[in-house]
Amino acid sequence: MNTIVCVKQVLDPEIPPAKFKIDAEAKQVIPPPGVPPVISVYDERAVEAACRLKDKHKGKITVISMGSEKAADVVKHTISMGADEGFVLSDESFANLDSFGTAYVLGKAIQKIGEYDLILCGRQAADWGAGQVGSILAELLAIPVVTLACDIEAVDKNLRIKRIVNDGFEVLEAPMPSLVTVSSEIGLPRLPAGMRLMMARKKQIPVWTAQDIGAEASQLGKDNAHTEITSLTVPTRKTECEIITGPTPSEAAVNLALKLNELI
């Protein structure tokens, strides 16, 4: 079973909130110094899903990541988890693409890779959180898409996918190839172990440019974007603290309940 996983390198979501800075003028995030970017958490779970399928059915996992050349680090991370091969898609014209542009670039790279039974993406990126790329990519490749998967099984020639819905989950079947976006409920990604960790470190990750994958300039760039960022701000959150007291603990609890009742 051949799987392609699309992953994104993002600003470490674990940095302390106070350290998160933006440039409102340029509408850009300013990365804090000395914090290496990491793989988007949902994409890491997509890689985990691919590894679990590979554990069961063998096959090959190919990982692609669009971004700067530093994205090689996250591709190496996925190789240490169990992926076989990976490519970085990097080109000046790929900078600041919206979801449509990103999906277009990924689609071109996937066409270059060729054969696949399954494409996996994270449910959304951990930075912008738009959650669009997976569905648009499926549309471009003209294959079925199932979003928010929490379990994926290969049964005969089909995929059986457990999908998260508001009040539980539903089970869907899809043919191969399909695109599935993976949600956190699939479980913790594995800790890269064994010698894969050492091997991945030494692996050369090829970089594909727009020319390599045949991406046309007419689909890229700001002018061809479907969406535009009009403003970028850090939400301000006001916290007020009030200590609810009472002569005895039980009376304090009653006061707290009354206060909560008042607020609701």
Partner 1 sequence: MSPVSATYWGIPGYAIFWVLFVIAFGLFVQRLYILYRLMCLGKQENRFDRIGQRITNMLFEVIPQWCNLKSVTRKDLSGIGHALLFWGFSFFLISYIVFIGLAEGSGLHKVLMGSTFETVYSSILDIAGVFVIIAIVWAAIRRYVLRPERLEISVEAGVIMIMVFSLMALHFCIEGFGLAGSGDTTDWPPVGAAFARFLSGTGFSKSTLAAVSHGAWWLHYALILGFMVYIPRSKHLHILASAVNILFKPLGPNVVLEPIPLEALEAPEGSVTFGVSKIQDLTWKDLLDLYACAVCGRCHVNCPAQLSGKSLSPREVIHNLKEHLLEAGPGLLAGEAGASSGSQAKAMIGDVVTEDEIWACTTCGACQEVCPVNIEHVRKIIELRQNLVLAQNKMPESAQLMLRNMQTRGNPWAGAQSLRLRGDWTNDMELKILGESDNVNTLFWVGCTGALVERNVEATLSLTRVLKAAGVDFAVLGDAETCCGDPARRAGYEFQFQILAEENIEIFKSHNIKEIITSCPHCYNTIKNEYPLYGGDFKVVHYTQLIADLIRQERLQLTNQLNFLFTYHDPCYLSRYNEVYREPRRILQDIPKARLKEMERSRNTTFCCGGGGGHMWIEEQHGTTKINQIRIEEVIETGAETVVTSCPYCLQMLEEGIEQKGVKDSLKAQDLIEVVEAAMKQA
List contacts with partner 1 (CB under 8 A).
12, 14-16, 18-19, 32-36, 38-39, 77, 188, 190-199, 201
Question: By C-beta, is 175 or 187 nearer to partner 1?
Answer: 187
**CB-nearer residue toward partner 1: 112 or 190:** 190
The nearer residue to partner 1, 38 or 113, going by C-beta atoms, is 38
Which CB sits closer to partner 1, 194 or 247? 194
Q: Smallest distance from the beta carbon of 107 to partner 1, in angstroms?
A: 28
Closest separation in Å from C-beta 13 to partner 1:
9
Cα(97)–Cα(227) distance, integer angstroms: 9
CB of residue 18 to partner 1, shortest distance in Å: 7
Beta strands in the chain (DSSP E): 2-7, 9-10, 21-23, 28-30, 38-39, 60-66, 85-89, 118-122, 145-155, 158-165, 168-175, 178-182, 207-208
CA dist 47 and 152 (Å) reads 12
Tell me if 190 sits within 8 A of 71, measured CB to CB. Answer: no
Q: Looking at beta carbons only, is 36 or 246 nearer to partner 1?
A: 36
- Cβ distance 1 to 117 under 8 Å? yes
Shortest reach from residue 237's CB to partner 1, in Å: 16
Least distance in Å: CB of 197 to partner 1? 4
Q: Is 8 exposed, middle or buried (0-12, 13-18, 19+ CB in 10 A)?
A: buried
